[in-house]
Amino acid sequence: MYGRADSLRMSDDQLSESGIENTPGQGRTPEAERIEPSAPEEFGLVQVWWGDGKGKTTATLGMGLRAAGHGYRVHMLQFMKGGASSVEAVRGEYNAIAALPGLSYENLGHYGWHGMADGSDEADHEVEAQAGLERAHELLESATEADLDAPIDLGAPPEDGMHMLILDEVLYAVDRGLLSEDDVHELIDAKPDELELVLSGSHVEPTYLEERADLITNVRKVKHPIDDGQRARRGTEF
């Protein structure tokens, strides 16, 4: 059995004999490359990330980071984000996104949670969720008008199109009655074929998307420190 260090020292003949040549990178650890504008060859699916566990936004952001690392243009629209009083008015991912080429975000929802006693007016959540829906359609129209088979300038505004669009917490907005299931269906129908559309949120299974989505992942909670009174922590929850 070859270890990682051994595989790095093996000759091409040894790689061939070991079968490692059939693995990505032929058993060698890839090195980071300069990010240049590029276009994906196989994008176009609809992804859904839901569940009662921590990590839905984290997972979609990680996927956005990976896509941006290949030079693809990625944009995230958040319908709502915030939380309890322990969450400060800053999110680490916003700072990181600002430093990464090709990845951008905007938050059009009320900075807080519908149904939570955070001092916000619940009516504001509905108005802002509708504004988020309108903005999502604008972004989809921009993507439709763009040539998604070609690279997009990494510093270009989302109005110039994107290869991946993440609609964070849009499913939670449906759970709370701020948007309808048909609203989400219409977003999917408006998606250009080459765009990767990622929908996240919801502690309730979005069965209305079973026939519409290509990938559905249930992020299930097994154990969470919040149940023992742990408050949101800087660097993990925000």
What length is written for the chain?
238
- pLDDT of 119-144, one tens digit each? 445 567 788 889 999 999 999 999 99
pLDDT confidence of residue 227? 76
- pLDDT of 77-101, one tens digit each? 998 765 445 455 667 888 989 999 9
Cβ proximity of 79 and 112 under 8 Å: no
Cβ proximity of 19 and 7 under 8 Å: no
CA-CA distance, 161 to 69, in Å (whole number)? Answer: 17
CA-CA distance, 237 to 198, in Å (whole number)? Answer: 20
- Tokens representing 40 are 């994906």
Start-to-end CA span in the chain (Å)? 42
Whose tokens are 């938050």? That residue is 107
Task: Between 116 and 155, name the one with better pLDDT.
Answer: 155
Average pLDDT, the chain: 84
Asked if pLDDT for residue 220 goes beyond 50, the answer is: yes
| Residue among 12, 7, 33, 48 nearest 209 (CA) | 48
Model confidence, pTM? 0.82
Rg (CA), the chain: 20
What are the structural domains of the chain? 1-31 (no CATH), 34-228 (3.40.50.300)
pLDDT confidence of residue 233? 75
CA-CA distance, 113 to 142, in Å (whole number)? Answer: 29
Q: What amino acid is encoded at 167 in this protein?
A: L
Burial class (CB in 10 A: 0-12, 13-18, 19+), 59: middle
Cβ proximity of 135 and 108 under 8 Å: yes
Strand order in the sheet with 46-50: 103-107, 74-78, 164-168, 196-200, 46-50, 215-218
CA-CA distance, 5 to 12, in Å (whole number)? Answer: 15
Asked if pLDDT for residue 173 goes beyond 60, the answer is: yes
Backbone angles phi, psi at 43, to 5 degrees: -80, 165
Asked if pLDDT for residue 3 goes beyond 80, the answer is: no
